[in-house]
Amino acid sequence: MALYDKVMELSKRRGFLWPSFEIYGGTSGFITYGPYGVILKHNIENLWRDFFIYKQENFIEIETPIIMPSAVFEASGHLEHFTDPIIACLKCEKRYRADHLIEELTGVNVEGLSISEMNEIVKEKDLKCPDCKGALGEVELFNLMFKTNIGAYKGDVGYARPEAAQGMFVEFKRIFNIMREKLPLGIAQIGKTLRNEISPRKGVTRLREFTIMEVEVILDPEEINNCPGFEKYKNTSISLLTASLQQKGEPPVNITIEQAVEERLLDNKWLAYFLAVSKSFVKTLGVAEDKIRFREQLPHEKAHYSKQTIDLQVYLDGQGWTEIAGHAYRTDWDLSRHIKFSGVDMRVFKKTEAPLTVKKLVLKPNKATIGPDFQKDAGKIIGELNKMDPVEVKNKLDSQGFIEVAGRRLTSKHIEFEEYEEVVKGKKFIPHVIEPSYGADRLVYTALEHAYTEKEGRVILKLPVKLAPIQVMVYPLVERDGLPEISNQIYMELLEKGFRVEHDVSGSIGRRYARADEIGVPLGVTVDYQTLEDKTVTVRDRDSWSQRRIFISELADILKQFFEEKISFDQIGYPVNKIE
RNA sequence: GCGGCCGUGGUCUAGUCUGGUCUAGGACGUUGGCCUUCCAAGCCAACUACCCGAGUUCAAAUCCCGGCGGCCGCACCA
């Protein structure tokens, strides 16, 4: 059995995750997390919060709706770019992008044309399938966003978000204010996202509903290379597959992020910084360094908003290098679009170091002359004049002696200018955005696959201590002579003290150890006959199967240190034979 | 969406070609009991399955058709 199949078999059998709706035959692209899967996923999310929110300066987390009104996606560009017009050959059933096909076959620029207009061109020019010369069907729109109605009125169209990011952009103004108007500001979100994938496959790697973990780092484009964390990570070496290396068919290079920025392989230091943070995070999930690499998206692959995108890929059995995160430089695309579409000014004010004095020109329509001269048109003319740039108007008047406004000729007697000095204390700008974006479900699978090991025909899930769904399993050696009563007391105590702990009394002790190994429980605590004599128990290590003894009274404190990774297993209690 | 292969208890599978002793077998698992002094021990008992729907037939897990799902390839994947 392939590793992938083994991991999925274990996941189903022991309750990490499985395909949803199985009793109704299943629907691809949806998964259900079971008892251990839920905890594993939460642990991964929390570890991500540590790396990408809590250990970053001025980074915070929010939660926004999954359904958003269509206006948001009009502004974000998803309605336009997430929708592909598709046309299929009726004979060979090959599918094409309708716009690309029409442009290719006719040379006509179809940008902005409606579906019916494209259909007309296909009919008029009698276009055929370039492959088999068969007749073509109707142009259809395929949008990867799930569409729905908000409320009872058909006109209120909403879409399920295909990324969490728009929630952060839409709320930027208020959050920026709450965070006392400091940049850089990191706004993070973990939440469900939906994409109506055409053919989801490969278990969890392409889902229709999945959890995304994103941070939008909002910063001043002039400060994009002023990244405080960069210094600490600048010597972090990464395996980087640039776009040009891919085009030449060459393998990735190993390079420090500092060099990569210097050689302009990475656009800026903030982007580079997150690559290093990401690498460190993914290693913490138990992925070996040689199974992590960074791949730059090729120009045609990049999203409509991206200046540069670097994917983080991990090596997975059966499907090779798989994208689990993207790092995109979204520039000011999103904020400027939302400013334009909503009419709300979300620009940020920045003080200049020393106030500047600039000369300003103000245009004043002379109503006393415009009124009599243009009568009915006067109001319109004045309105238009007020929208015009005073400097430009003055230049035109000076050079040609008149200016045309609303189809009428105005001369210098109609317009007065006033010049005054203004003290400029700063300027307004649209911030830029750097975005690390993770797929949580792929991380769960990645952690499972990289933890999966076999030993003597048994499965051991060597999950990092921080990820293990259950931390401690408590056992009586045998189910009699008062041992279960003592183990139950220990179990209750550990439960009370906040450990994720289970108590297993059924079956032989070996069988119970095996069960615990399968779900990756790092430590086992066994009450045996020696416990009755000296109040010690054994502690068993999942990975080495070795044991140490410890007094029950010290157990909780020592385990706490172990799970905080302050001590290793060998520092727990005493060697088995040292206590007499 | 197309093509190929496939779908049997919680898991892995025998059986399907060649319809009928299949009232569906095995292994693992789980539960209860007995036993048990450290790595899936043993014994007893219990539990749970032919993906869904139509069809052919005296008779369908088995043959045919459709649907759903899985794997592989193509297409798709800002």
Asked whether residue A553 is assigned to any structural domain, the reply reads yes
Quickly state the pLDDT bin for A132 (edges 50, 70, 90): low
Q: Output the domain CATH number for residue A420.
A: 3.30.720.200
Determine the Cα–Cα distance for residues A114 and A313; give it in Å rounded to an integer: 38
Nearest to A246 by CA among A176, A299, A184: A299
Nucleotide nearest to A88 (CA to C1'): B1
Residues 6+ apart with CB under 8 A from A85: A97, A98, A99, A115, A118, A139, A140, A141, A142
Q: Is residue A379 part of a domain?
A: yes
Summarised one tens digit per residue, pLDDT across range A210-241 is: 999 999 999 999 999 999 999 999 999 999 99
8 Å CB contact between A256 and A236: yes
Residues A495 and A567 grouped into a single domain: yes
Which bases in strand B are touched by protein, i.e. have an atom under 7 Å from a CB? Answer: 1-2, 7, 10-13, 29-32, 35-42, 51-52, 67-72, 74-78
**Model pLDDT for residues A409-437, shown as the tens digit of each residue:** 888 888 878 776 767 778 889 999 999 99
Instruction: State how beta strands A472-476 and A523-527 pair.
Output: parallel
Q: How far is the CA of A23 from the C1' of B16 (A)?
A: 24
Alpha carbons A310 and A250: distance in angstroms, whole number: 17
In the structure, how far is the CA atom of residue A236 from the C1' atom of nucleotide B30, in angstroms? 49
In a domain, A375, yes or no: yes
Tokens of A89: 């050959």
Taking the CA of residue A249 and the C1' sugar atom of nucleotide B77, their distance in angstroms comes to 22
Q: Which nt is closest to the CA of A162, judged by C1'?
A: B78
Helical packing angle, A3-14 and A440-451, nearest 10°: 110
Domain region containing A97? 84-142
The DSSP output letter for A499 is -
Are A398 and A480 in a shared domain?
no
Give residue A538's pLDDT band: very low, low, confident or very high (50, 70, 90): very high
CATH code assigned at A528: 3.40.50.800
Tell me what the mean pLDDT of segment A388-408 comes to: 81
In angstroms, the CA of A561 and the C1' of B36 are apart by 34
pLDDT digits (tens, 9 = 90+) for A74-130: 899 888 777 766 777 666 556 666 776 776 677 666 655 667 777 777 777 777 766
Query: Has residue A398 been placed in a domain?
Result: yes
Nearest-10 Cα torsion for A484, A485, A491, A497: -170
User: Tokens 């006033």 identify what position?
Assistant: A418
**Distance from residue A347 (CA) to nucleotide B21 (C1'), in Å?**
83
Which nucleotide does the CA of A531 lie closest to, via C1'?
B37
- Total domain count for chain A? 3
How far apart CA A236 and CA A245 sit, in angstroms, is 21
Q: Which nucleotide is nearest to A5 (CA to C1')?
A: B71
What angle is formed at CA A102 by the lines to CA A100 and CA A104, rounded to 5 degrees? 65
Looking up residue A118, the CATH number of its domain turns out to be 3.30.40.230
Residue appearing with tokens 């995109």: A328
